[in-house]
Amino acid sequence: MFLANPLRAAGFVIGGAVGAGLLAALLHSLRLPSVVRVARRRLESYEAATVTLSHGAMAYVDRGCGETILSLHGLYGGYDQGFDNVANLAATHRVIAPSRFGYPGSDVRGAGTPREQAAALVELLDRLGVDQVFALGASAGGTAAIRLALDHPERVKGVILYSSAAPWGSRPESPPSRLGPPPAMNRDWVMWLLSPFFPVAMSMPSNVVDTMLPMSQRRVGAGLDAAVCNPDMAVRFDEYS
């Protein structure tokens, strides 16, 4: 008799699906503390060095020898992502992978602009005794790589953009004020709960979240990328054209 009423039957099915979804989300969220602990240990495993520059600390990985690649990571990255992007080249090249401003182990200089990042990177290279590099900018790190080449061309042998934006082809009528996720996303629990949807929403495997946590060490940098670095080539179009 219950199933004879279509509306009641539909409500039963929908209610069951919602309940199952909430239960799955709860079980998924219960794993978060252990996942964050693993993520912290993963960061520590890189044994990054830290140098004190004029504005504060900058953490970096420095491996290998030969031609030097300065690997600048993207959004939700750090020295770990920067090194992993070119880890296979460390056997034949020197790879320097710093955390950009606001990412693990690195302080922010001024407003955190790409120009300020480029100045800090030159200071890092000076400390390490490196005259010239190939600057590889991945995703949000591309703007800093381009800025480094523009402001300090004598230090850059070449620029490699890896899944990064390039300078705009024409001046935008209305430069964007933000290019990136909203601040509310920059939390461990939010990113963790969203991770099962990564394959559909962002065409990336859900376990990529393991390399993005802990967000507490990447939150400031992600905010700078979205509000300052990513829009820079549009906001300062003439400087990049």
Phi-psi region of 230 (alpha: psi -120 to 50; beta: other; left: phi over 0): alpha
Q: What is the pTM of this model?
A: 0.88
Structure tokens at 182: 């909203």
**The pLDDT of residue 213:** 96
Q: List the beta strands (DSSP E) in the chain.
A: 49-52, 57-63, 68-72, 94-98, 133-138, 156-162
Eight-state DSSP code of residue 141: G
Q: What is the pLDDT of residue 6?
A: 59
| Whole-number pLDDT of residue 8 | 55
Mean of all residue pLDDT scores within the chain: 90
- Name the pLDDT band for 105 (thresholds 50, 70, 90): very high
- 202 — pLDDT class (breaks 50, 70, 90): confident
Buried-state track 40-78, b at ≥16 Cβ within 10 A, e below 16: eeebeebebeebebebeebbbbbbbeeebbbbbbbbbbb
Using CA atoms of 208, 213, 217, 218 in order, give the dihedral in degrees to the nearest 10: 30
Average pLDDT for 213-235: 97
Query: What length does the chain have?
Result: 241
17, HSE (Cβ side, Cα atoms, 13 Å):
6
